[in-house]
Amino acid sequence: MKFSNQPLTDKELASFETGRDLAAELLQAVQEMKAGHLRVVSSPVIEARQKTGLSPLITHRSDEVV
């Protein structure tokens, strides 16, 4: 697969989707979350939404079930 700022063509997207194992990807994501390997994503847009109250600040302990 190519890495660029350009969107995939329909053919490239179909090829990518055909080769995915969604069950394995979801299982890995759940295992990472349970292990505390969380990725925090932030951007100026998210920060502005939180400051204005459009998006809530989400904070929780890593041992809580969310």
In tens, the pLDDT along 3-12 reads: 677 888 999 9
pLDDT of residue 20: 92
User: Is residue 45 pLDDT above 60, yes or no?
Assistant: yes
pTM of the model: 0.45
Going from N- to C-terminal start, the domains of the chain cover: 10-52
The widest CA-to-CA distance across the chain, in whole angstroms, is: 43
In angstroms, the Cα distances linking 65 to 36, 60, 61, 62 are 12, 9, 9, 8
In tens, the pLDDT along 26-42 reads: 999 899 888 887 777 78
